[in-house]
A and B are shown apart, each in its own frame.
Chain A
């Protein structure tokens, strides 16, 4: 018995030694592999300075990733020996920015391969990062030239220009937005689904409201919920959310939106869905009853189109759910919404690659044209967009419509004003006003809740 025990113990010890030895072997294997890969990398980019092995990209969804895979990775532009590492943190409850902030603040002490090289930001909170030292000058640090960015829409550069006039981020898209309507419902409510005729019946908010009443009478909803047309009002505001003394101010457009949405909710013109909730997009399914959505290219491509499919496994084509039963018009008011910008992070050891990514993904005309063709985006090159607007380009999702030509004028006229607090103010207003719309809070209570929410998030402001 004792002997057996001794043998068992010996075997156990030996096994554990082997188990420990294995990863060590594996380690040496990978290092040799990397060592062999490294000279190859040196060959191709002989003139380039030493590059980091891991290229870290921080973002909140897979939108850019899909474009990057297709037009950067598949084109073979990633240098040998460099791994692209995606760190994707969803936006919910500010999680993405929390993660990004923590990593940026630790950027100086982080190991070279853990440093952020490229991070993505949205218009609503762009100034937070652009005004900080953590984003790099597109021209002087990254090394792009004025010529590279000459064809871009001016407003996309305004978004990422800091208080000293330094450009710190670039986008591949411009986000002029329109009213997207369901053709079959428009046929029932307006008697036509032709974009020109629909536009003539929806070109002011008064007409929009009158049509909403007609839609309601036929059992349809004009919009899916409270927040659908919010950006049409808020992004046409003439006052920023916060004045120079740190006082929160409400633009007249915001007040108009509150009035309209209250009226729409009480009259049953909307389906009471909350922005980004499953209910919001459920209204666009084949049996959905929602007539209008509002949004730019990324909205109908990345959010709306996938939701219209009856079979998400099958090809996205007319006949699959309500795909193809949609069209876009300017609507009561032109506006823009959102967008994604690429920023180079301070401390990155892959600036050369960042330059190549920015140049390829945001400045290269061919790539931008290709993105329009495969992703329904509206991309950031005025000349290319004008060309496509005058071509026979057709979007299958929008029933063969050339949406670029519809949005072309809006894109030129976008005027961008902002404060670093826009994201919080927009989000908290939508959140707080819901109570007023559905009757659980009075107008004053809801407004109080809005101020409370904003002051919780930004203690430096005042009401």
Chain B
């Protein structure tokens, strides 16, 4: 090795390129993304064009059927119903979630309130998220069953004469799912929003205060506009989480999505097809869920960044005009 080195003429280094290390360090992400996301995504789309399921212990297919799976899905008209269920249940949980989280985030970061025991409360509100969703759903299933403690209490307190049953009330079932989603996620959202608020330049709040702005004004005129990118992030991540809602309604309704399939979410519907190892239909449902997610994300992103883009456009035009004037 040494001999070789001594024979080669010494190269003059003109510049050192560190760029390769950049690629080197981001490579793991792309590798993992390729193996665990892109390839499965491709194979899901591929599978959705095949008839491929198990009947008893014998395999049927795979046989190429083109768009037949999609046609079947649209013909029986079930999918919009489950998309609607998912949307309604998600909204029922998300609206209180973002409102409460916003309120708590503002309180926790308020320079004027100086709340005591913050670490304690932050831990407590985050706690429900640490429990496994299925365990949490099982807990609610037992709490709210017809002979569960909640019903027993309500009957003994003479508030009810007959137990409230989940399978008899669509509102109750949906509300419980929404409540659980709310409890599990408002702590997480609070912490994200707090991080966002703390990232806002303190001098803006001080300036507003000096100008005599009331807390309400500070919130609407300073905090909220500055927080827009974070709120956008929260809405999109929560929405994607909402579309994938599965374990809570699955366990709470005992795998059925009952009553009358109003608690059947998109992913529960997908799971129904996987029961018979129906990869074709499962693939088709997955692709549609993917399209819905993508469309909604683009929609939210576009509407939230509309002003930003308009402002950018304006600035560019202004700069152009200025240049031309010169």
Type the 1/0 row for B228-256, where 1 means its CB is closer than 8 Å to any CB of A.
Answer: 00000000000000000000000000111
Cα distance A441–B257 in the bound complex, in angstroms: 13
Closest B residue to A272 by beta carbon equals B165
Find chain A residues with CB under 8 A from B169 CB.
440
Cβ-based interface call for A460 (8 A): yes
Cα distance A420–B276 in the bound complex, in angstroms: 14
Q: Which of A105, A274, A446, A456 contacts B57 (CB 8 A)?
A: A105
Of A64-72, A111-119, A129-137, the stretch lying at the interface with chain B is A129-137
Within 8 A of B (CB), among A104-128: 104-105, 127-128
How many residues of B are counted as interface, with CB atoms below 8 angstroms from the partner's CB atoms? 31
Taking a contact as CB atoms under 8 Å apart, the answer to whether A459 and B255 are in contact is no
Taking a contact as CB atoms under 8 Å apart, the answer to whether A457 and B167 are in contact is no
Taking a contact as CB atoms under 8 Å apart, the answer to whether B275 and A440 are in contact is no
Taking a contact as CB atoms under 8 Å apart, the answer to whether A438 and B58 are in contact is no
Q: Which of A92, A134, A438, A460 contacts B55 (CB 8 A)?
A: A460
Closest A residue to B55 by beta carbon equals A460
Cα distance A279–B141 in the bound complex, in angstroms: 13
Cβ-based interface call for A445 (8 A): yes
Cα distance A134–B56 in the bound complex, in angstroms: 12
Taking a contact as CB atoms under 8 Å apart, the answer to whether A131 and B273 are in contact is no
Closest A residue to B261 by beta carbon equals A449
Given A278-B145, A441-B259: A459 touches B276 (CB 8 Å cut-off): yes
Cα distance A460–B53 in the bound complex, in angstroms: 9
Cα distance A101–B273 in the bound complex, in angstroms: 16
**Closest CB-CB distance, A130 to chain B, in whole Å?**
10
Cα distance A273–B60 in the bound complex, in angstroms: 38
Cα distance A141–B157 in the bound complex, in angstroms: 65
**Closest CB-CB distance, A246 to chain B, in whole Å?**
10
Cβ-based interface call for A313 (8 A): no
**Closest CB-CB distance, B115 to chain A, in whole Å?**
43
Cα distance A404–B261 in the bound complex, in angstroms: 43
Within 8 A of B (CB), among A276-304: 277-279, 282
Find chain A residues with CB under 8 A from B145 CB.
277-279
Cβ-based interface call for B286 (8 A): no
Cα distance A277–B262 in the bound complex, in angstroms: 21
Given A272-B165, A441-B260, A456-B275: A101 touches B147 (CB 8 Å cut-off): no
Find chain A residues with CB under 8 A from B256 CB.
431
Q: Which of A274, A282, A445, A459 contacts B53 (CB 8 A)?
A: A459
Closest B residue to A127 by beta carbon equals B56
Taking a contact as CB atoms under 8 Å apart, the answer to whether A460 and B275 are in contact is no
Within 8 A of A (CB), among B52-102: 53-58, 60, 76, 78
Type the 1/0 row for B264-281, where 1 means its CB is closer than 8 Å to any CB of A.
Answer: 000000001101101001
Cβ-based interface call for A205 (8 A): no
Taking a contact as CB atoms under 8 Å apart, the answer to whether A132 and B57 are in contact is yes
- Tell me if B's interface is mostly helix, strand, loop or mixed: loop
**Closest CB-CB distance, B38 to chain A, in whole Å?**
27
Given A105-B57, A279-B147, A452-B78: A445 touches B260 (CB 8 Å cut-off): yes
Taking a contact as CB atoms under 8 Å apart, the answer to whether A460 and B60 are in contact is yes
In the complex, which of the residues B53, B168, B169 has the most CB atoms of chain A within 10 Å of its own CB atom?
Answer: B168
**Closest CB-CB distance, A380 to chain B, in whole Å?**
26
Cα distance A149–B280 in the bound complex, in angstroms: 44
Closest A residue to B148 by beta carbon equals A278
Find chain B residues with CB under 8 A from A277 CB.
145
In the complex, which of the residues B54, B56, B170, B262 has the most CB atoms of chain A within 10 Å of its own CB atom?
Answer: B56
**Closest CB-CB distance, A344 to chain B, in whole Å?**
16
Cα distance A445–B261 in the bound complex, in angstroms: 10
Closest B residue to A131 by beta carbon equals B56
**Closest CB-CB distance, A122 to chain B, in whole Å?**
14
**Closest CB-CB distance, A401 to chain B, in whole Å?**
29
Taking a contact as CB atoms under 8 Å apart, the answer to whether B260 and A440 are in contact is yes
Taking a contact as CB atoms under 8 Å apart, the answer to whether A435 and B260 are in contact is yes
Cβ-based interface call for B146 (8 A): yes
Closest A residue to B280 by beta carbon equals A459
Taking a contact as CB atoms under 8 Å apart, the answer to whether B167 and A434 are in contact is yes
Cβ-based interface call for A458 (8 A): yes
Given A440-B259, A452-B78: A459 touches B278 (CB 8 Å cut-off): yes
Cα distance A425–B262 in the bound complex, in angstroms: 21
Within 8 A of A (CB), among B191-245: none
Find chain B residues with CB under 8 A from A127 CB.
56
Closest B residue to A456 by beta carbon equals B272
Cα distance A449–B262 in the bound complex, in angstroms: 11
Taking a contact as CB atoms under 8 Å apart, the answer to whether B55 and A434 are in contact is no
Closest B residue to A442 by beta carbon equals B260
Cα distance A161–B277 in the bound complex, in angstroms: 26
Cα distance A272–B55 in the bound complex, in angstroms: 34
**Closest CB-CB distance, A349 to chain B, in whole Å?**
21
Find chain A residues with CB under 8 A from B56 CB.
127-128, 131-132, 420
Find chain B residues with CB under 8 A from A134 CB.
57
**Closest CB-CB distance, B154 to chain A, in whole Å?**
16
Find chain A residues with CB under 8 A from B261 CB.
449, 452
In the complex, which of the residues B55, B60, B260 has the most CB atoms of chain A within 10 Å of its own CB atom?
Answer: B260
Find chain A residues with CB under 8 A from B259 CB.
434-435, 438, 440-441
Q: Which residues of A contact B (CB under 8 A)?
A: 92-94, 101, 104-105, 127-129, 131-132, 134, 272-274, 277-279, 282, 420, 431, 434-435, 438-441, 445-446, 449, 452-453, 456-460
12 extra A-B contacts, CB within 8 A, seeds A132-B58, A452-B78, A457-B275: A272-B168, A274-B167, A279-B147, A434-B259, A435-B259, A435-B260, A439-B168, A440-B168, A445-B260, A456-B272, A457-B272, A460-B53
Question: 5 smallest A-B Cβ distances: which pairs?
Answer: A440-B259, A441-B260, A435-B260, A128-B56, A132-B57
26 A-B pairs whose Cβ atoms sit less than 8 Å apart in the complex: A101-B57, A131-B56, A134-B57, A272-B146, A277-B145, A278-B147, A434-B258, A434-B259, A435-B258, A435-B260, A438-B168, A440-B169, A440-B170, A440-B259, A445-B260, A449-B261, A452-B76, A452-B261, A453-B272, A456-B272, A456-B276, A457-B272, A457-B275, A458-B276, A459-B53, A459-B55
